[in-house]
């Protein structure tokens, strides 16, 4: 009989050991095995803390210090961290098969049915995936298949993801250029410019126009309701699919279930993700009408043209079912509308007091503060212009750094406009927690008077960190 030889297990790091790693050990793993430059970037402003517990809007570090999360997973935590309804939902399906492609998952069918009840208009058919970028990829393919056209129109300053198709319609050259050539026949127009849209669609050769009702990474830029209504009319007139990217704005974030409802318009295709999985499971979908779905995939030969291995898996869709139920039970869209109005009003008062706050804008609990970079000075001269470049590129990060390191409040700047910090807390955030944020901002702004003090101090720290590398 052949003797079996058991090989020794590699020196794996266990879950328990990983949780107990020191901050430097964690940095070292990321530096050696993931992305060393992100370690450098996160470390510049002390954004590489280790957190060991989370609940609602609060997270705690290993020393027991509480932080308020006003970043909210870039909109993925509308229900907050570790909402108990998600634990119950996942526990209820733990013995079911999670992946079994040779079947029709009853939970996926139930979630799709539930979604059709809460989405606007005649949106009915859902395709489940794992991320916002995947939802955008599927939406672009659907539009091309349904219309027989190839051209896509998107907006400058937009952000739709970093996979190849989603990146092709993302409106910032910094992210696109290193990966060219991308998907062809994509045109970019100014955001919220109805005349530019009409011109772009005039030849009746555009498969889809994709846009965010609120440009998140563009700096929290809200599209006027009248513009969205015009988009709907122009797309209909030219046979172009209107794709609404509500990956960040969906599920109550702006004070409605979906941001396009403020303008009372329904897109042809709706992209959703982020908070759809409750912050515990990766879950995404694109939705469309029965007519459009059948135009694209309405035969046995076409039914399998677009698929996803993990899309619609049991645990993910169970989380999605719990998210919809919890939103209704806790009336989260209303909470977002009321708390957002309160926060916006208080921030506008700060803007009147501190002129370096260039603009306060947003809708619901998706709010941006844009800052005016400080004027040139001696320190800028001594650094050969490097400090001015730091201020222009990292002023939002500097404010976020002050909030994190001195007030234990987590925020971040927007990718396409680094002079903007985003405030995107869970919709369950309390008024007391909002007031704590406001008090921290007041202290940051008052302490730094002309704002330049903080920028110069932070700029020197950033320059020093960069020069050591």
Using a 10 angstrom Cβ sphere, with 0-12 exposed, 13-18 middle and 19 or more buried, the burial of residue 154 is buried
Q: How many CA atoms lie within 13 A of 52 on its CB side?
A: 15
Q: Which residues of 41-55 are buried (b: 16+ CB within 10 A; e: fewer)?
A: eeebbebbbeeeebe
CA distances from 190 to 195, 242, 360, 385 (A): 10, 16, 21, 31
Q: Which residues are catalytic?
A: 159, 245, 274
Tokens standing for residue 37: 């430059």
The alpha carbon dihedral of 189, 190, 192, 197 has a sign of negative
8 Å CB contact between 232 and 262: no
To the nearest 10 degrees (0 to 180), the angle between helices 386-407 and 452-467 is 100
Q: Among 376, 459, 390, 437, which Cα is nearest to 418's?
A: 390
8 Å CB contact between 262 and 223: no
Q: Can the peptide bond before residue 181 be classed as cis, meaning omega within 30 degrees of 0?
A: yes
């Amino acid at each position: 009989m052949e003797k079996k030889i058991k090989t020794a297990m590699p020196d794996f790091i266990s879950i328990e050991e990983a949780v107990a790693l020191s901050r430097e050990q964690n940095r070292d793993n990321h530096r050696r095995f993931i992305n060393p430059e992100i370690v450098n970037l996160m470390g510049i402003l002390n954004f590489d803390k280790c957190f060991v517990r989370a609940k609602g809007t609060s997270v705690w570090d290993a020393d027991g210090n509480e932080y308020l999360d006003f970043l909210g997973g870039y909109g993925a935590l509308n229900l907050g961290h570790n909402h108990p309804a998600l634990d119950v939902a996942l526990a209820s399906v733990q013995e079911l098969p999670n992946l079994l492609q040779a079947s029709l998952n009853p939970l996926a069918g139930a979630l799709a049915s539930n979604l059709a009840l809460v989405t606007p208009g005649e949106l009915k058919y859902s395709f489940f995936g794992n991320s916002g970028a995947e939802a955008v990829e599927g939406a672009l393919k659907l539009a091309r298949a349904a219309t027989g056209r190839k051209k896509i129109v998107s907006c400058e300053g937009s952000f739709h993801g970093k996979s190849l198709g989603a990146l092709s319609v993302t409106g910032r050259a910094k992210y696109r250029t290193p990966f060219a050539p991308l998907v062809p026949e994509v045109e970019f127009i100014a955001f919220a410019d109805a005349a530019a849209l009409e011109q772009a669609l005039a030849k009746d050769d555009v498969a889809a126009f994709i846009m965010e009702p609120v440009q998140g990474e563009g700096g929290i830029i809200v599209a006027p309701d009248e513009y969205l209504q015009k988009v709907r009319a122009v797309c209909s007139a030219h046979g172009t699919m209107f794709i609404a990217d509500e990956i960040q704005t969906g599920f109550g974030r702006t004070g409605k279930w979906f941001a396009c409802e403020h303008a009372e318009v329904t897109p042809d295709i709706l992209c959703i993700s982020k908070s759809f999985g409750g912050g515990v499971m990766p879950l995404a979908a694109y939705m469309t009408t029965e007519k459009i779905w059948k135009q694209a995939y309405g035969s046995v030969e076409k039914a399998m043209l677009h698929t996803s291995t993990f899309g619609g898996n049991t645990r993910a869709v169970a989380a999605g079912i719990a998210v919809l139920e919890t939103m209704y039970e806790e009336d989260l869209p209303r909470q977002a509308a009321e708390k957002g109005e309160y926060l916006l009003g208080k921030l506008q008062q700060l803007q009147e007091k501190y002129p370096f706050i260039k603009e306060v804008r947003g809708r619901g609990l998706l709010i941006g503060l844009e800052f005016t970079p400080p004027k040139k000075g001696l320190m800028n001269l001594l650094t050969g212009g490097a400090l001015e470049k730091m201020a222009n590129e990292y002023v939002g990060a500097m404010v976020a750094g002050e909030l994190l390191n001195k007030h234990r409040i987590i925020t971040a700047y927007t990718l396409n406009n680094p002079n903007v910090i985003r405030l995107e807390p869970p919709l369950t955030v309390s008024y007391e927690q909002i007031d704590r944020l406001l008090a921290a901002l007041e202290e940051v702004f008052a302490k730094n008077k002309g704002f330049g003090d903080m920028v110069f101090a932070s700029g020197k720290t950033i320059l020093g960190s960069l020069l050591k590398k």
